[in-house]
Amino acid sequence: MGIRDRIRNKVNNKEIVASKNSYLEDPNKALALITQILAKRYAENERATALNELEELIKVDLPTILENLQLPDVIERLQRLEKLGFRLGKNERTELFQGRKVVGLGGLFSAGKSSFINGLINGGSKLMLPENQSPTTSILTYVMAGAKGKQNVVVSNQKLEIDADALQALSHEFEEQYHLSLSRFIDCITIETTNFPAEISDEIVLLDTPGFNKSTNKHDKTEVSDREIAFKQLVKADYLIWLVNAEAGAIKEEEVKFLAEFDTVKQLLVVFTRADKRDKKNIQEIIRTAEQTLADHDINFYAVTAYDSRAGKEFDDNGYINNFFKSIATEPNSDQEQDSKELSADLLELQAEFANEMKQLRANLKELTKQIETEKNILATKSLASLSLDIVLQVDRLGRNEAQFINLQEKIKWRVKKLEQG
């Protein structure tokens, strides 16, 4: 049953859940919204195609080619290339994002991300962020300064302005009502507000993401999926604010492991939310413990502080949050050109590894040949000959892999060029 049939059945059977949201009350209006989104989605542009192909080359083809390359840090290298691919794939950065710096907000479930953003925007004024989003149905949501308040969905790098009801309907409630998640069709949501505080530069964009939780069931694959989705969303940010619920008492082990992977963000600020739920002495101890924990895991961070979202005020008037945003405003913008250069440099390093390993194999083969020429024991000669044959086969495999790698390298360069052209 298709999307349209599913929603029309809702109309025919009058299975409409009581709601104040017009898109949830009126399935025909919901269908019109879906039609608008899908119309833009299926007008797939070259840039979106290049992005999908780039991700496939890095995540699927490259690991297969590198299988015969004896590198102790091959997993780390592949992870870095994947991160750079994600950063190059900021396909939702329309002209509206050019020249702006993205600050991602992450944390576990109930960390208070949306409340923190509301607290920042005009000291707690209501900001219409999608509510109750789960990781699997979430949509990247960017908040930025604008000449007037409006919301857009971005589909295949094209903007579609929507009203406040549509914005809320695209969250958890829409999926619950119609059993359809539109997150897979939408690149992101952008919210422009006239209430952006003077303390935060207009060059800065806030990225709101859903949280993830540590499952108590070791066989639960949902946690892995949630974590991967959170990572894929936050890696698009230039800077990161990690939010922790102060009522939890400390930053958790899974959070520390997660933060250790973000070597592409320029700065990290850790903020304990709901500071009003703890007394001053307790908050100070929580902050000290978190600082030590991060340092013990070699995680670089700008500062650790606490925040009362209801009052829109930082704990003890430390000023870390405002200073964090001020320091970002003075830094040069991240751009695709730098990410592209880093990706090219990493690929060249891998190409050099092929040459190094080939050189070592040939040196080993030459040494074995010398031993065979001087060896008088027939059994030892057979053993050396067998080793020589293994090396010859390795050289052959590695040579073919190297040729495949050079070909893949050219394909990656072509896709990156397409991304840079927009």
Confidence at residue 240, expressed as pLDDT on a 0 to 100 scale: 93
Confidence at residue 209, expressed as pLDDT on a 0 to 100 scale: 81
Long-range contacts of 251-258 (CB under 8 A, 24+ apart): 251/289, 251/290, 251/293, 251/294, 252/108, 252/214, 254/108, 254/214, 255/107, 255/108, 256/293, 256/294, 256/297, 256/299, 258/227, 258/230, 258/231
The CATH-assigned architecture of domain 95-334 is 3-Layer(aba) Sandwich (3.40)
Strand order of the β-sheet with 204-208 is 158-162, 150-155, 188-193, 141-145, 204-208, 101-107, 239-245, 268-273, 303-308, 313-314
pTM of the model: 0.68
What are 75's two structure tokens? Answer: 């997993």
pLDDT one digit per residue (tens) for the chain, 422 residues? 455 555 555 545 544 444 578 888 888 888 888 888 888 766 655 666 777 788 888 888 888 888 878 888 888 888 778 777 766 765 445 455 767 888 999 888 888 887 888 777 765 455 556 555 655 557 788 888 887 878 888 776 678 888 888 887 876 677 777 877 777 778 788 888 888 877 788 888 898 887 776 544 454 544 556 777 778 778 778 899 999 998 888 899 889 988 988 776 788 999 998 888 888 889 899 999 999 999 999 999 999 999 987 777 888 888 899 899 998 888 766 556 677 788 888 888 888 989 899 999 999 889 888 888 888 888 888 888 888 888 888 889 889 999 999 999 888 888 887 766 65
Q: Is residue 415 a contact partner of residue 409, using CB atoms and an 8 Å limit?
A: no
Confidence at residue 341, expressed as pLDDT on a 0 to 100 scale: 81
Residue with tokens 């704990």: 315
End-to-end CA distance of the chain: 36
Confidence at residue 269, expressed as pLDDT on a 0 to 100 scale: 95
Confidence at residue 17, expressed as pLDDT on a 0 to 100 scale: 45
- 249 sits in the region (left: phi over 0; alpha: psi -120 to 50; else beta) called left
Confidence at residue 125, expressed as pLDDT on a 0 to 100 scale: 52
Confidence at residue 18, expressed as pLDDT on a 0 to 100 scale: 43
Confidence at residue 16, expressed as pLDDT on a 0 to 100 scale: 44
Residue 24, CA distances (Å) to 12, 14, 331 in order:
15, 12, 44
Structural domain spans, the chain: 3-41, 46-88+337-421, 95-334
Q: Is residue 198 a contact partner of residue 121, using CB atoms and an 8 Å limit?
A: no
Phi/psi at 180 (5° precision): -145, 125
